[in-house]
């Protein structure tokens, strides 16, 4: 009888814009990727069909048989119950209580796990990225919003109802900026890329002579880099925006450190590409304000290592989420 080695798994990033499937090998590296447009609105069955199609395509590109895939993992937006395999609610997909893991298992005959996308990304960074070798880590992604993932004692923590770790929706300014979640003054409203863009635009309107206008000739062309670029060109208004951004970010992150005291606080997303320009001053403020500042053991604030692959790798490794020693 032929012996089939099952050393590959598939990780899927189910996004509102793209569906990406990746084959991950035994060394936790991505062997191949395939992607297609999500094309919302669509039914859960159509989305499942596409996820399977991309999985098969990725396996083909990796030069392996689909039979060599041991399991499939999905990172999905919204409230996801990993115990039941159901997407309980996702507003971008307009899904209510969809048994997505089952839809994939029925189509492929392979076991399928599903997690919230921010949790899947945190799981990837925890196992093979910035959190490698630790037991407790918090991952924050600074993107359009702020994604949070909490790993406590080697397990993904998302509360008793799978809605926890929404760290972007903790308030840092009482009665502050309106947040998409309905509250005012959320961490996300100030410290996401969207929040930084808003602060940059507000400053530009007050400072018509600022070099910010050189890097973004109109308000709709402002992005997360504009203020950093202006600052590097010696612009005072640009520097003020960056300084204010750093203070908001450090405030929200210190709240997280004081809540969890993780071994590693990992910062990812597009803005983390500013590297030490951002991470170092933020880490200094956290170090001054951290409740454990007199402790010998302190949280390390570091940049994420896996970039956009964290979600794919984390999803591919979801089959290890219940193991006491996931990397063995
Ligand atoms: Zn909010």
In the chain, what are the helix, strand and coil shares in percent, each to the nearest 5?
Answer: 40, 25, 35
pLDDT tens for the chain, 328 residues: list them: 555 556 899 999 999 999 999 999 999 999 999 999 999 999 999 999 999 999 999 999 999 999 999 999 999 999 999 999 999 999 889 999 999 999 999 999 999 999 999 999 999 999 999 999 999 999 999 998 999 999 999 999 999 999 999 999 999 999 999 999 999 999 999 999 999 999 999 999 999 999 999 999 999 999 999 999 999 999 999 999 999 999 999 999 999 999 999 999 999 998 888 989 999 999 999 999 999 999 999 999 999 999 989 999 999 999 988 777 787 6
Tokens of 228: 């950093």
Distance 190 CA to ligand 1 centre (A): 10
E-strand stretches of 92-211: 95-98, 111-116, 137-142, 146-152, 155-157
Distance 179 CA to ligand 1 centre (A): 5
Contact status, residue 203 vs residue 212, Cβ threshold 8 Å: yes
Tokens of 68: 């060599």
**Three-state DSSP state, 295:** coil
The pLDDT of residue 59 is 98
Distance 167 CA to ligand 1 centre (A): 9
- Please name the helix (run of DSSP H) or strand (run of DSSP E) that holds residue 301, with its range, or none: strand 300-303
The pLDDT of residue 321 is 87
Distance 248 CA to ligand 1 centre (A): 14
Domains in the chain and their CATH numbers?
8-124+310-320 (3.30.420.40), 132-304 (3.30.420.40)
CB burial readout 136-169, b (16+ within 10 A) else e:
bbbbbbbbbbbbbbbbeebebbbeeebeebbbbb
Distance 133 CA to ligand 1 centre (A): 32
Tokens of 177: 């900026």
The pLDDT of residue 130 is 97
The pLDDT of residue 263 is 98
Distance 60 CA to ligand 1 centre (A): 41
184, burial (CB in 10 Å: exposed 0-12, middle 13-18, buried 19+): middle
The pLDDT of residue 139 is 97
Distance 192 CA to ligand 1 centre (A): 11
Segment 266-289, tens digit of pLDDT: 999 988 889 899 999 999 999 999
The pLDDT of residue 164 is 93
Distance 145 CA to ligand 1 centre (A): 9
Residues with CB under 5 A from ligand 1 (ion): 169, 179, 181, 183, 186
Distance 264 CA to ligand 1 centre (A): 24
Contact status, residue 55 vs residue 68, Cβ threshold 8 Å: no
The pLDDT of residue 7 is 87
Distance 146 CA to ligand 1 centre (A): 9
């Amino acid at each position: 009888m032929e012996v089939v080695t099952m050393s590959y798994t598939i990780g899927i990033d189910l996004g509102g814009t793209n569906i990406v499937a990746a084959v991950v090998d035994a060394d936790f590296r991505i062997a191949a990727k395939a992607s297609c447009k999500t094309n919302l609105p669509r039914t859960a069955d159509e989305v499942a069909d596409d996820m399977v199609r991309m999985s098969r395509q990725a396996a083909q590109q990796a030069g392996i048989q689909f039979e060599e895939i041991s399991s499939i993992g999905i990172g999905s937006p919204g409230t996801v119950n990993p115990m039941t395999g159901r997407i309980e609610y996702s507003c971008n997909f307009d899904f209510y209580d969809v048994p997505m893991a089952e839809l994939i298992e029925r189509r492929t005959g392979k076991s399928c796990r599903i997690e919230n996308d921010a949790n899947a990304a945190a799981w990837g960074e925890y196992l093979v990225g910035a959190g490698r070798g630790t037991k407790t880590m918090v991952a924050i992604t600074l993107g359009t919003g702020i994604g949070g993932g909490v790993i406590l004692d080697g397990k993904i923590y998302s509360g008793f109802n799978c809605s926890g770790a929404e760290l972007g929706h903790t308030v840092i300014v009482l009665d502050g900026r309106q947040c998409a979640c309905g509250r005012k003054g959320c961490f996300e409203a100030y410290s996401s890329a969207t929040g930084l863009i808003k602060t940059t635009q507000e400053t530009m309107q007050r400072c018509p002579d600022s070099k910010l206008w050189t890097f973004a000739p109109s308000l709709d062309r402002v992005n997360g880099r504009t203020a950093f670029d202006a600052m590097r060109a010696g612009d005072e208004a640009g520097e003020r925006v960056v300084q204010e951004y750093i203070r908001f970010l450090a405030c929200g992150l210190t709240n997280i450190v004081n809540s969890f005291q993780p071994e590693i606080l990992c910062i990812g997303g597009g803005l983390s590409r500013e590297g030490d320009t951002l991470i170092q001053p933020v880490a200094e403020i956290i170090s001054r304000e951290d409740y454990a500042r007199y402790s010998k053991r302190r949280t390390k604030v570091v940049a994420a290592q896996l970039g956009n692959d964290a979600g794919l790798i984390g999803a591919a490794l979801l089959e290890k989420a219940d193991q006491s020693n996931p990397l063995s």
